[in-house]
Structures are given as structure tokens and as C-alpha cells.
């Protein structure tokens, strides 16, 4: 911590400015950086309440990140959409729908004009909606909306799971369905 200043009008609140040497972080590792900064700081038992308000990452460190495996141009090419913003949404409610009703929500969004939809990060393989059923109904929604609109549509499936092997299994199944 290199500087502390009181919050105006608050007796027991302060703003702390913390700086870390870059050598503490693995180059190109967002996970390492955030767990080091957020995980450690929020773990201080002496603090009753803490809020991260700003994070400044030096350019020299951001240059170590390779970025996503592909960017917006690849997405535009996949969807054949150029010269305008891509329109998408996360399906809500995110939890509680059956796979069939979830697929219906995907279809209605895509049929209604969106370019893509996506699973919320909390949507995995819960008892009310198993992953395989969700993947199948989402694929059906994509193909049906494409047939009706004449446009390429997409849905980004959450393939995360408890093990790497299971994630790969889900990702392979999604690819076989033709769903990103």
C-alpha cells in the first residue's frame, strides 16, 4: 500500500492505493493477476468491508496477453454480418427453465432479430436442464430460425464442467451439432 486517504465525510472509511511489482505476476496470466490482487486483498481478515473501485494495468503487462484465439472479424465472418453492430443477448431467466423452454427462448430471440444468444455462466447441467438436452434444443432453435429468416444465427453454449474430460466431451458434441 503506498497511499491512504480518508473518504470525505466518513469517519472510518479510507481509500487505499495499492501497487504491486510486475514481477509478482506471471506474464499473460489474467487468472494469476486477479487472484493475486483481488483474492489476497479481499482475504484480509482485518478489513470488515472492501470494494475494488479501479484497477490500472501497466501497458508493459497488457502486452504480454495474447488476446482471444480469434476476434470480432472471425465472428462477423461466421455470422456473415458486416457494417453494423452484432446484436445478441444472454438468455434469461438463466435458471429454472426446462431444456425445451430454454431452446424456445433461444429461438424467439434469434427469430426476433438477434444475431446470437449465449448461455449464462451459471447454466451448466442442472437436474432441470441437462447439458445434452440444452445443446440439442439450442441447435434446433438455431437451424429453425436460420431457415425462417435466411440469416446465419449463433448460440454460444456453456460447455464448462467438473472435469477437463467432460468439458472436452461437451465441446466436441457442440461442434458435431454445428453450434459454436
pLDDT digits (tens, 9 = 90+) for 81-98: 999 999 999 999 878 999
Q: What CATH code is carried by the domain that includes residue 28?
A: 3.30.70.150
Q: Can you give the pLDDT at residue 171?
A: 95
Residues sharing a CB contact under 8 Å with residue 81, sequence separation 6 or more, in sequence order: 115, 152
Q: Are residues 113 and 38 in the same domain?
A: no
Q: What was the pLDDT predicted at 165? A: 95
The predicted structure's pLDDT at residue 180: 65
Q: Is residue 141 part of a domain?
A: yes
| Same domain (yes/no): 17, 78 | no
Burial-class residue 89 by CB neighbours within 10 Å (0-12, 13-18, 19+): middle
Residue 74: what are its φ and ψ, rounded to 5°?
-65, -40
Considering the domain architecture, whether residues 164 and 85 belong to the same structural domain is answered as: yes
Q: Are residues 39 and 8 in the same domain?
A: yes
Residue with cell 427462448: 105
- Could you tell me if residue 53 is inside a domain? yes
Could you tell me the pTM of the whole model?
A: 0.67
Q: Which residues contact 71 (CB under 8 A, 6 or more apart)?
A: none
Q: How many separate domains does the chain show?
A: 2
pLDDT tens per residue across all 180 residues of the chain: 678 889 999 988 888 888 888 888 899 988 888 888 887 677 777 777 777 888 899 999 989 988 777 788 999 999 999 999 999 999 998 789 999 999 999 999 999 999 999 999 889 999 999 999 999 999 999 999 999 999 999 999 999 999 999 999 999 999 999 986
Same domain, 111 and 41: no
Domain containing residue 43: 3-62
Distance CA 45, CA 52 (A): 16
Ordered strands of the 154-156 beta sheet:
88-90, 116-118, 154-156
Are 53 and 85 contained in the same domain? no
72: left (phi over 0), alpha (psi -120 to 50) or beta: alpha
- 129, β-bridge pairs: 126
CA atoms lying within 13 Å on the CB side of residue 166: 10
76 and 157 in a single domain? The answer is: yes
Judge residue 41's burial from the number of C-beta atoms within 10 Å of its C-beta, 0-12 exposed, 13-18 middle, 19 or more buried. middle
For residues 19 and 39, membership in a common domain is answered with yes
What's the gap between Cα 29 and its chain centre? 17
**Tens of pLDDT along 130-145?**
999 999 999 999 999 9
Cell 482475504 maps to which residue? 43
CA dihedral 139→140→143→147, nearest 10 degrees, is -170
Beta strand spans in the chain (E): 3-6, 14-17, 88-90, 116-118, 154-156
Are residues 42 and 126 located together in one domain of the fold? Answer: no
| Within a domain: 67 | no
Whether residue 145 is contained in a domain is answered as yes
Amino acid at each position: 500500500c503506498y497511499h491512504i486517504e480518508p473518504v470525505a465525510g466518513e469517519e472510518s472509511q479510507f481509500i487505499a492505493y495499492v501497487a504491486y511489482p510486475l514481477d509478482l505476476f506471471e506474464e499473460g496470466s489474467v487468472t494469476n493477476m486477479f487472484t493475486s490482487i483481488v483474492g489476497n486483498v479481499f482475504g484480509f481478515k482485518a478489513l470488515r468491508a472492501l470494494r475494488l473501485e479501479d484497477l490500472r494495468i501497466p501497458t508493459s503487462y497488457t502486452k504480454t496477453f495474447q488476446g482471444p484465439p480469434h476476434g470480432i472479424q472471425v465472428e462477423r465472418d461466421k455470422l456473415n454480418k458486416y457494417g453494423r453492430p452484432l446484436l445478441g443477448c444472454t438468455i434469461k431467466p438463466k435458471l429454472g427453465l426446462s431444456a425445451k423452454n430454454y431452446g424456445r427462448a433461444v429461438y424467439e430471440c434469434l427469430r426476433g432479430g438477434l444475431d446470437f444468444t449465449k448461455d449464462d455462466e451459471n447454466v451448466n447441467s442442472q437436474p432441470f436442464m441437462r447439458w445434452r438436452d440444452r445443446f440439442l434444443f439450442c441447435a434446433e432453435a438455431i437451424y429453425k430460425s436460420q431457415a425462417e429468416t435466411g440469416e446465419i444465427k449463433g448460440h454460444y453454449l456453456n460447455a464448462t464442467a467438473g472435469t477437463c474430460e467432460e468439458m472436452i466431451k461437451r465441446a466436441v458434441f457442440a461442434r458435431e451439432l454445428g453450434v459454436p
